[in-house]
A and B are shown apart, each in its own frame.
Chain A
Amino acid sequence: MSTQKDRLSLIIPNFKESPCVDKVGVEERVARFQTRSIKAEAKAQGLRMALNMIDLTTLEGKDTPRKVKQMCYKAQHLHSVCPGLPNVAAVCVYPSMVGVAKKAVGDSGVKVASVSTAFPSGQAPLSVKIMDTKFAVAEGADEIDMVISRGKFLSGEYNFVFDEIAAIKDACGKTRLKVILETGELVTLDNVRRASDIAMYGGADFIKTSTGKIQPAATMQVTYTMLQAIRDFKLKTGIQIGMKPAGGISNSKLALHNLVMVKETLGEDWLTNEWFRFGASSLANDVLMQIMKAETGVYQSTNYFSKD
């Protein structure tokens, strides 16, 4: 894994010259990923892998400590009827709930991710964002999910966005930083590519598509563009960056298509929850239902799976 020191020695490119994205080409390539024939055995393996990559998420104004505890319980006991299932990768909560979540997951290996920097809009002064981040880190968050300033980005102030990411990375210390681009607000794939580059040079350990509050969220086109940016960054600098599509991936089929895309774009190195995550709340149950369908041969009902 890279350290911030490695990152500091990089020569920062001119982000105005980030590569352009061929939208038609991306769409065609993405359509191909959806036609791969996945056989039963590979599917079973893929589903377990997907399950293990999920960040169970609750980011609502109405979140209560009980709700967070319940979700953390679910993260560790996905479907007790079926022994041997992996846990999800992490739970993702607001900074105020990090303490509760951290205690609830204990030493189960499930990580606690916290959104920060005035999530979801990011419309706050830098000092507030840094405080927000430091609070979450002090509460014990293992990962920080920050949002970029889309307003600044869209008005062309790339250096502002870059500096902000670098400042938050400093505030994180050793905690891994995911940078949310909120691609639904970035309008074009060219912008997605540029924002990805800024985030990676700025200090992101992960880049993440969306907050989940804006539609469209993690479309395959957007994810593919970001994966390409990650690949180019790795080739250029040797630093590996993780990817997290979030929002809109609600069924297993879509999750499997995403895994195929990761494998064919970046290779197997990324196929662990160290480097690839799904930000989703309803995906877990659908994956579980598919796994149970494969185990029992019988189509399942949501009635027999726990709510989040």
Chain B
Amino acid sequence: MERLKVLKTYKVYIGGKFPRTESGRYYSPKNAKGEVLGNICFCSRKDIRNSVVAARKAFGGWSERAANNRGQILYRIAEMLEGRKAQFIEELILQGSTKVQAEKEVVLSIDRLIYYAGWCDKYTQVLGSVNPVASSHFNFSMHVPTGVVGILADQKTSLIGLISLIAPVIAGGNTCVVLASEKLPLCAITFSEVLNSSDLPGGVLNVLTGSCSEMMKPLTTHMDVNAMIYSGSDKSIVKELKESSALNLKRILHYDLDWMKADSQDLYKLSDFQEVKTTWHPIENIGGASSSY
């Protein structure tokens, strides 16, 4: 007798839990061959609301966590992903990649996580500065995370585009709400399962699936979201993003990159979601080289 298929229920990831969408709706995206990828949650604005609350709640703890510990956790995510490579390759192939492409994408995703894991306890030293001032102050600038970041993930890729956007954001101590690729959502959900087993505190990363056009508005107008990223080339989305972000002056970043390229990762992706804090610390007048001691 043929064994009954055990199909996976794809759920969303909010606050470290896997609920179904609040709306109860789902959609069934298909690949190029017409095969159904799965029944995927078609999220609503209320899921956005819940995710932002979760992300805000997680922000304090995550941003204040020791930098090297954040690095360890990012590295742990990469380790977990390494152990589940085969599953991701399978999903990428189902979503239309060739085997070679799929393997390359998964390996690159792991390496990218490790790249940003390494930056966690180094970026503040590299980006920060001690500034010359004309008074008796010790003046220095350091980078602190922006806050809750909304991410409209890359629509063209399932895994690498997602990881390339979230890794620098969470490495820098931000928390985020991600809208996965509408047509290629599988890896985003499976990646949430990886996150859930890798010491990342619940709420730091929240993953939703569904229609970008429907959920963009509540996310980009949300007063408690501090920044938005869009990856893609749709001019109308960029325009809408800019308009709604003006409400509370969100920082907006727009990348139109090929995430499979090695040079699509750098320190500036991380510093894009950092605010510069400058401190004036009064000190005794210390003589310089030219002073007359």
Residues of A whose CB lies within 8 Å of any CB of B are 297-304
Contact = CB atoms under 8 A, between A and B. Distances in A.
Contacts of A298: 221-223, 247
Interface string B194-223: 000000000000000000000000100111
B224 interface: yes
Interface of B: 48-49, 52, 218, 221-224, 247-248
A227 to B, nearest CB: 30
23 contacts: A297-B221, A298-B221, A298-B222, A298-B223, A298-B247, A299-B48, A299-B49, A299-B52, A299-B218, A299-B221, A299-B222, A299-B223, A299-B224, A300-B223, A300-B224, A301-B222, A301-B223, A301-B224, A301-B248, A302-B224, A303-B223, A303-B224, A304-B223
A299 B45 CA distance: 10
If over half of A's interface residues share one DSSP class (helix, strand or loop), that class is named, otherwise mixed; here it is: loop
Contacts of A300: 223-224
Given A297-B221, A299-B223, A301-B223, 14 more contacts: A298-B221, A298-B222, A298-B223, A298-B247, A299-B48, A299-B49, A299-B218, A299-B221, A299-B222, A299-B224, A300-B223, A301-B222, A301-B224, A301-B248
A239 to B, nearest CB: 43
Contacts of A297: 221
Contacts of B248: 301
Contacts of A302: 224
Nearest to B221: A298
Nearest to A299: B222
A300 B221 CA distance: 9
A239 B223 CA distance: 47
A303 B49 CA distance: 16
A151 B248 CA distance: 53
Contacts of A304: 223
B223 to A, nearest CB: 4
Nearest to A300: B223
A299 B218 CA distance: 7
A290 to B, nearest CB: 11
A300 B218 CA distance: 11
A200 B214 CA distance: 53
Contacts of B221: 297-299
A299 B248 CA distance: 11
A255 to B, nearest CB: 17
Max chain B C-beta neighbours (<10 A), residue from A297, A298, A304:
A298
Contacts of A301: 222-224, 248
B195 to A, nearest CB: 24
Max chain A C-beta neighbours (<10 A), residue from B48, B52, B221, B223:
B223
Nearest to B52: A299
Contacts of B222: 298-299, 301
Max chain B C-beta neighbours (<10 A), residue from A298, A299, A300:
A299
Contacts of B218: 299
Nearest to A292: B223
B248 to A, nearest CB: 7
Contacts of B52: 299
B1 to A, nearest CB: 43
